[in-house]
Each structure stands twice: as structure tokens, then as C-alpha cells.
């Protein structure tokens, strides 16, 4: 049951990188084992990772071969670095977007709580009024009262659901 080639996700990439690191450490440990040189009773020179007990061995220093970092390997490494950098940027951008969305949701919840409180307060008020240019109260009619309440209820419903 195959859905075609698998995509290399960030999680799979991390698993592959960890596996590579573990394998490289295992192989480097096996390379780091000592190499000994000894001469047997017949005068023959031998090399091995464990000298015989009856002979005094000399430890031989073995230099690892130089690392061949050809152009294609460097290119692959650069592509990997670019990919990982791009993934990190995407992750950070998603986190910023999520933080903005959470802040907007909190602001909306706060606004809705205030609007609902104001709506409750409006239900307690029997008559609304405006102030004229002299600062005196001018009471609105009962129909205007109802229209103000209805308009504000609609506004709350539209903004808050």
C-alpha cells in the first residue's frame, strides 16, 4: 500500500540526522581503537588491535585519512543548511502568527465582555437622552429608545456572535 514517494518532513529529517550522528560516533569509536606493532620469535612484524601477552608491543599512531569534502558534498551540505534555516524561519513565522491571533482573540473577548455589560446596562435604563448645545437633556421618544437598543443588540451580535 503505497501513496507514492514519501515527503521528507522536518520530523523525519531530524530522525535521519540523529541516526547519522549515532552511526558516525559508532564508526569513529571503532577507528579510535589502538593499533599495535610487534615482532614475533621468527622476526616477522605483525600489526593488530590486540597484542599478544608474551610480546612487548609498541603502539602505532595511525593518522586518519584526510576528509574528502568534494564540491557535491559541500553543495549537499549547503542545501541542507538552507533547508534547515528555511524551516526555522517558517516555524518562527507561524509562532508570530499564532501569537497575533491569540492577542486578537483576547482583545475581541474583552471588547465583547464590555459590549455585553453595556447592553445589560441599557436594559436597566428606561429612557435615553441627548444633550443639546446648552448641555440640557433632551429625552428621546419610546420608539427611538427601542431603536437604540435594537441597533446596539445587532452591533453586539455582529461583533461577538
Question: Would 62 be classed as within a structural domain?
Answer: no
Q: What is the pTM of this model?
A: 0.45
Answer positive or negative: Cα dihedral of 74, 80, 83, 84: negative
Is the model's pLDDT at 37 over the cut of 90? no
H helix intervals, 6-70: 10-31
Distance CA 131, CA 138 (A): 6
pLDDT at residue 158 in the model: 94
Calculate helix-pair angle for 142-160, 71-124, nearest 10 degrees.
160
% of the chain exceeding 70 in pLDDT = 88
> 28 falls in which pLDDT band (50, 70, 90)?
low
Question: Would 22 be classed as within a structural domain?
Answer: no
pLDDT in tens, 68-125: 678 888 888 899 999 999 999 999 999 999 999 999 999 999 999 999 999 999 888 8
Distance CA 157, CA 145 (A): 18
Task: Confirm if 128 and 146 have CB atoms less than 8 A apart.
Answer: no
Domain that holds residue 155: 113-161
Question: Would 120 be classed as within a structural domain?
Answer: yes
Instruction: Residue 67: count other Cβ atoms within 10 Å of its Cβ.
Output: 6
Indicate the burial class of 25 (C-beta count within 10 angstroms; 0-12, 13-18, 19 or more). Answer: exposed
From the DSSP assignment, how many helices (H) and strands (E) are in the chain? Answer: 3, 5
Comparing 54-58, 78-82, 149-153, which segment has the lowest mean pLDDT? 54-58
Question: Would 152 be classed as within a structural domain?
Answer: yes
Question: Would 101 be classed as within a structural domain?
Answer: no
Question: Would 122 be classed as within a structural domain?
Answer: yes
Question: Would 128 be classed as within a structural domain?
Answer: yes
Question: Would 78 be classed as within a structural domain?
Answer: no
pLDDT at residue 154 in the model: 95
Amino acid at each position: 500500500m503505497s501513496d507514492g514517494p514519501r515527503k521528507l518532513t522536518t520530523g523525519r529529517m531530524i530522525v535521519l540526522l540523529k541516526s547519522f550522528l549515532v552511526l558516525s560516533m559508532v564508526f569513529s569509536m571503532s577507528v579510535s581503537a589502538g593499533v599495535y606493532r610487534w615482532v614475533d620469535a621468527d622476526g616477522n612484524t605483525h600489526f593488530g588491535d590486540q597484542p599478544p601477552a608474551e610480546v612487548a608491543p609498541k603502539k602505532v599512531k595511525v593518522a586518519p585519512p584526510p576528509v574528502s569534502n568534494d564540491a557535491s558534498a559541500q553543495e549537499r551540505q549547503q542545501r541542507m543548511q538552507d533547508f534547515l534555516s528555511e524551516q526555522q524561519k517558517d516555524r518562527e513565522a507561524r509562532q508570530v502568527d499564532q501569537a497575533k491571533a491569540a492577542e486578537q482573540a483576547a482583545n475581541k473577548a474583552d471588547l465583547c465582555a464590555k459590549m455585553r455589560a453595556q447592553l445589560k446596562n441599557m436594559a436597566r435604563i428606561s429612557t435615553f437622552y441627548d444633550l443639546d448645545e446648552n448641555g440640557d437633556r433632551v429625552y428621546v421618544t419610546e420608539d427611538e429608545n427601542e431603536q437604540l437598543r435594537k441597533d446596539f443588540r445587532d452591533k453586539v451580535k455582529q461583533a461577538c456572535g
